[in-house]
Each structure stands twice: as structure tokens, then as C-alpha cells.
């Protein structure tokens, strides 16, 4: 390694670390807690998405959104324990953050039958004009912090009706928490995401010992898309799409976690060193083999105006760990039983006979 190359790599690593360190550590701890509580209490009525994206308007940003709720049937189940823990941890963290926030609005009321809680705050001062100017939206008693460099909002509403009054609504509770942090205002997306350069960057990660590889192809036309079931399907069920890519399989949990950690760090370094390349989502979650949200995604259009996308999934299924690196023209479709499918063409399936017998055995259990 030359001295110049070493200096460049050192700079990129330090710049990458600086970017991610801007995420508030108390918020990051809260997100980690949410993830743990979801599985400790088997809290089914809970969704959590985290993403980093780069856009022409905002620059490089991190966003998190959490939704947790209880319906009338789940109030007395283990969901309720998880729900109450999430609410308690959220309020505790927000109260701590409010002590040093740039701007804070907090409002709540408890009438016996209804609970309403609202937090809206900016954790950093605004930086000039739109979109970085702090703007607090006032909707009656509720407020919403938007814009700025770092904001957090939380709304919670619960209804506790009198069971003797049949005209009252059923017992419900719902909370939402959103967090946004602008990591780099100058890193505005002016170029398409270079899939070739990124795949070259992660080559050493996915080609190491313990990771097996095979090619996959999924094609679906508009006539049959609405009639078939898919593991992942685009928003328009009648749209057509042609997807090809690589499916990596990892049998060892230790190897999988190591590969995922390396994949995440290489992705962070790539984003930090290609700050003007547009991408829609990068999920930085530590255990995102469990998540069905994309690990990384980017969209563009070809010369004919057809959507072209690049998507990386990290998944745990059939007792094994998987990485899907996919290129799609049109709408992304991933068929059911994708773990053992080599080619899917409008419902006509070709399975892998070799290297997937262990999956077939798992499927038949």
C-alpha cells in the first residue's frame, strides 16, 4: 500500500465515522432497545424502519420511524407488556433529550377515557433556509417539528371506554415516533448510484470462505402478476418486471454475523466516499438479517424511461442466512420459495437441484 493510498483510506474512514456519529447516541440506544423489546415480548403490533438516503434537496440523511399499537383483542396479551415498555422507554428518553433540545413542545392530557401525548423537538439549531430551517407546525394542541438538522416527534393516543356504554369506541392505543438527522448538507445527490463500483467494493466480503453463491432470475409480466403470490412484490400488482442477480447463502451464524458486519462497514465507507451518488435506502440495523426491509436500494430510469433498480436484501429463512443482490428492470418481484428457486418465469419455476438439498429438507419438516 502506498503512503498516498493509506492517507486516502484513513481520511475516508475518519469521515465515515464522523457522519454516523452525528446520530444522537440516546436516540440510537432507544432504537436498539426497541429492537430488543420487540423480540423479548414477541410484540407483533410493532413496526420499525431505519434508513439512510441521499437526495438532491436534503443531502445525506438518517431517518427512523416506529409505530406501536394495541387493538381491542391484544390488550391483555404479551403485546401489552411490550407496548407499555416501548411507551415508557420512549417517554424517558424524550424527557432526557428535552433538557438540552434547541426547541421543545410537549403536551399531554388524561381524561380517564382518553390519553393523548405529544412531543415535538429540534435537537440542533436550524442552518439557514429551507430545507434546513426549523419549522414547528401547530395543529391545535399538537405540534410537529419539521425541517432543521435534527428533529424528533412522538404522538400517542389511547382510548379506554366504559364497557357499560356500548356507544363508546373499542379500546385502542397507538403511538408513532419519528427521528430525522441530516448527516451532510453538502452531499446532495447529483449522480446515479454506481452499482458496478459498489459490487466491486463488497466483492471481498461476499466471496470469502463459508459463503456460497448462485445466480437467480425472476420474471413476471403484467397479465399474471396479480394472480400470483410473492415474497416481495412491487406496489403495482399488474406491473411487469425482470430481475436477475446473485443469491449468497451462509450456513454458519458466526460467519453470517461477521459478513453482515463487514458488509455494513464497507457500505458506510462506500457512501462516505461517493457522497454525490443517489440512493433510496441503507438500513444500518445491527441484526438486519431478521428484517425484510432492503439492506440497500437505489432507483433510476433507463433511456426509455423504464424504472431500473438495484436492491440488496439480507435475510434469515429456512434456518440459513441469505444475501440477495438484485438488478431489476420494471417492478421487483421475488417469488415464494425463493430460497431454492433458480429461475422464475411467469409462474414457471426451475429449482436448484445441487447445493440446496438442505433447504428442501428444511422445507419438508
In terms of Cα–Cα distance, which of 60, 78, 59, 68 is closest to 35? 68
Q: What value does the mean pLDDT take over residues 274-291?
A: 80
Which of 36-45, 53-62, 79-88, 336-345 is predicted with the least confidence, judged by mean pLDDT?
36-45
**Tens digit of each residue's pLDDT (9 = 90 or more) over 243-273:** 999 999 999 999 999 999 999 999 988 998 8
Q: What value does the mean pLDDT take over residues 189-204?
A: 94
- Please give the mean pLDDT across all residues of the chain: 83
Q: Which of 67-71, 128-132, 251-255, 348-352 has the highest mean pLDDT?
A: 251-255
* pLDDT score, position 270: 92
d(CA 260, CA 284): 10
Q: Which of 15-29, 56-70, 108-122, 191-205 has the highest mean pLDDT?
A: 191-205
* pLDDT score, position 309: 93
Q: What value does the mean pLDDT take over residues 76-97?
A: 88
Q: Does the pLDDT at position 21 exceed 90?
A: no
Q: What value does the mean pLDDT take over residues 62-83?
A: 84
The 8 Å CB, 24+ separation contacts for 296-300 are 296/198, 296/267, 298/192, 298/193, 298/195, 300/192, 300/193
% of the chain exceeding 70 in pLDDT = 85
d(CA 308, CA 301): 5
- Inter-residue contact 250 to 318 (CB < 8 Å): no
d(CA 25, CA 94): 13
**Tens digit of each residue's pLDDT (9 = 90 or more) over 59-68:** 889 999 999 9
Q: What value does the mean pLDDT take over residues 35-54?
A: 84
Q: What value does the mean pLDDT take over residues 302-308?
A: 85
Q: Say how many C-beta atoms besides its own lie within 10 A of residue 365's C-beta.
A: 6
* pLDDT score, position 94: 95
d(CA 86, CA 97): 16
d(CA 181, CA 150): 4
pLDDT band at 51 (very low <50, low <70, confident <90, very high): confident
**Secondary structure element (H or E) that encloses residue 337, with its range:** none
**Tens digit of each residue's pLDDT (9 = 90 or more) over 151-193:** 999 999 988 776 565 455 567 889 999 999 998 888 888 999 9
pLDDT band at 200 (very low <50, low <70, confident <90, very high): very high
Q: Does the pLDDT at position 126 exceed 90?
A: no
Residue 61 cell numbers, joined: 440523511
DSSP code per residue over 50-71: EEEEEETTTEEEEEEEEEEEE-
Q: Does the pLDDT at position 216 exceed 90?
A: yes
Q: Does the pLDDT at position 128 exceed 70?
A: no
* pLDDT score, position 358: 46
Q: Model-level pTM?
A: 0.79
Q: Which of 40-54, 139-153, 159-173, 319-333 has the highest mean pLDDT?
A: 319-333
Helices 25-40 & 78-98, crossing angle to 10 degrees?
Answer: 170
Q: Does the pLDDT at position 236 exceed 80?
A: no
Q: Does the pLDDT at position 146 exceed 80?
A: yes
* pLDDT score, position 242: 93
pLDDT band at 6 (very low <50, low <70, confident <90, very high): very low
Q: What value does the mean pLDDT take over residues 75-89?
A: 84
Task: For CA atoms 88, 45, 34, 146, give the dihedral sign.
Answer: negative
pLDDT band at 287 (very low <50, low <70, confident <90, very high): low
Four-point Cα dihedral 193, 195, 197, 198, nearest 10: 90
pLDDT band at 210 (very low <50, low <70, confident <90, very high): very high
* pLDDT score, position 13: 47
d(CA 74, CA 72): 6
Amino acid at each position: 500500500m502506498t503512503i498516498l493510498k493509506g492517507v486516502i483510506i484513513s481520511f475516508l474512514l475518519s469521515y465515515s465515522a464522523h457522519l454516523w456519529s452525528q446520530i444522537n447516541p440516546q436516540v440510537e440506544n432507544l432504537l436498539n432497545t426497541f429492537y430488543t423489546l420487540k423480540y423479548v415480548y414477541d410484540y407483533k403490533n410493532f413496526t420499525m424502519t431505519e434508513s439512510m438516503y441521499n437526495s438532491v434537496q436534503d443531502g445525506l440523511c438518517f431517518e427512523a420511524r416506529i409505530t406501536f399499537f394495541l387493538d381491542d383483542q391484544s390488550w391483555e396479551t404479551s403485546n401489552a407488556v411490550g407496548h407499555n415498555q416501548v411507551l415508557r422507554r420512549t417517554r424517558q428518553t424524550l424527557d432526557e433529550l428535552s433538557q438540552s433540545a434547541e426547541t421543545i413542545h410537549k403536551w399531554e392530557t388524561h381524561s380517564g377515557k382518553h390519553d393523548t401525548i405529544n412531543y415535538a423537538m429540534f435537537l440542533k439549531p436550524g442552518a439557514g433556509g429551507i430545507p434546513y430551517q426549523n419549522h414547528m407546525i401547530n395543529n391545535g394542541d399538537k405540534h410537529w417539528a419539521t425541517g432543521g438538522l435534527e428533529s424528533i416527534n412522538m404522538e400517542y393516543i389511547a382510548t379506554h371506554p366504559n364497557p357499560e356504554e356500548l356507544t363508546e369506541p373499542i379500546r385502542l392505543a397507538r403511538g408513532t415516533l419519528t427521528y430525522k438527522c441530516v448527516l451532510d448538507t453538502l452531499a446532495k445527490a447529483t449522480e446515479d448510484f454506481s452499482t458496478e463500483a459498489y459490487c466491486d467494493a463488497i466483492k471481498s466480503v461476499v466471496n470469502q470462505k463459508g459463503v456460497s453463491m448462485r445466480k437467480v432470475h425472476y420474471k413476471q409480466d403484467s397479465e399474471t402478476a396479480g394472480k400470483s403470490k410473492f415474497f416481495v412484490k412491487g406496489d403495482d400488482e399488474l406491473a411487469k418486471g425482470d430481475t436477475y442477480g446473485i443469491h449468497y447463502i451462509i450456513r454458519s451464524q458466526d460467519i453470517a454475523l461477521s459478513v453482515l458486519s463487514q458488509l455494513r462497514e464497507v457500505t458506510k465507507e462506500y457512501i462516505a466516499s461517493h457522497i454525490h451518488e443517489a440512493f433510496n435506502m441503507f438500513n444500518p440495523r445491527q441484526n438486519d438479517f431478521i428484517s425484510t426491509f432492503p439492506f440497500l436500494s437505489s432507483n433510476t430510469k433507463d433511456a426509455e424511461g423504464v424504472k431500473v433498480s438495484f436492491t440488496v436484501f439480507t435475510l434469515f429463512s429456512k434456518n440459513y442466512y441469505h444475501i440477495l443482490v438484485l438488478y431489476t428492470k420494471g417492478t421487483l418481484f421475488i417469488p415464494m420459495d425463493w430460497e431454492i428457486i433458480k429461475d422464475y418465469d411467469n409462474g414457471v419455476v426451475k429449482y436448484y437441484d445441487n447445493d440446496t438439498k438442505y433447504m428442501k429438507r428444511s422445507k419438508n419438516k
